[in-house]
Amino acid sequence: MITGASAGLGRAIAAALAPTHTLFMAGRPSRRLDEVAELYGATTWPVDLADTEDVETVVEAITELDVLVHNAGVAYPGRVAETIPEQWRATMEVNVVGPVALTLALLPALRAARGHVVFINSGSGINASPGLASYSASKFALRSFADSLRADEKDLRVTSIHPGRIDTDMQRDLIAYEERDYVPEQFLAAETVALSVAQAIATPPDAHVHEVIIRPR
């Protein structure tokens, strides 16, 4: 299962995993998500990470799950003094509470498969980024949740992926906030990060990749 697979990095992860996995694509129903699902022969699951009340009911039919990739996320550019509490709340709901709720709902299925949970984190989950106050805080929290899950669920593999800046629509919004020209070549390709995700998942069962840090050259 991949969240946030309708575009950008999520779509690239779907492309990287489609040759070896049957894909479930979780997200808000949309034509873009349906198009990606059709392209890769995937099944869509109507999951809204901003409203987790129905998550457990939505996924209860899944009894065994090999891999869960948490890719969905939001970012509201702004330095601390520019932010408002509502932005922090919205960021935490999607970037932290949503992944926690979905993981808990799918925990029996992951345990049954001795599965793998992959969190698409960020360099901002290691060092706070100027102009991304609420986003950085959420990624630190997500990293901590991944560490706790790894410590508490010994039969699961749990990997945090910490890429640098990626050529995506989210990145364009951030560069616009910074009032700079957008130069795609300065950033990682989504396909490059997706390949690292696929490689971590394909690691032989006697090994456990805890963290992957990727930066543009």
Structural domain spans, the chain: 14-23+50-214
Helices 133-152/85-92 angle, 10° precision: 30
b/e 177-212 (16+ beta carbons within 10 angstroms → b) = beeeeeeeeebbbbebbbbbbbebbeeeeeeebebb
Q: How far is Cα 146 from Cα 162, in angstroms, rounded to an integer?
A: 12
* pLDDT tens string 182-214: 888 888 999 999 999 999 999 999 999 999 999
Round the CA-based radius of gyration of the chain to a whole number and report it: 16
Can you name the CATH fold of 14-23+50-214?
A: Rossmann fold (3.40.50)
Local structure of 110: helix, strand or coil = helix
- From residue 1, give the alpha-carbon distance in Å to each of 49, 151, 178: 14, 22, 34
Cα distance from N-terminal residue to C-terminal residue, the chain? 30
> Would you give the DSSP letter of residue 187?
S
On whether the CB atoms of residues 158 and 149 are closer than 8 A, the answer is: yes
What's 143-168 look like in SS3?
HHHHHHHHHHCCCCEEEEEEECCECC
Q: In what order do the strands lie in the sheet with 2-3?
A: 43-46, 24-27, 2-3, 67-70, 116-120, 157-163, 211-214
Q: What is the pTM of this model?
A: 0.94
* pLDDT tens string 86-145: 999 999 999 999 999 999 999 999 999 999 999 999 999 999 988 899 999 999 999 999
AA identity, residue 79: R
* pLDDT tens string 41-79: 999 999 988 888 899 999 999 999 999 999 999 999 889
Residues with a known catalytic role: 135
Burial class (CB in 10 A: 0-12, 13-18, 19+), 53: exposed
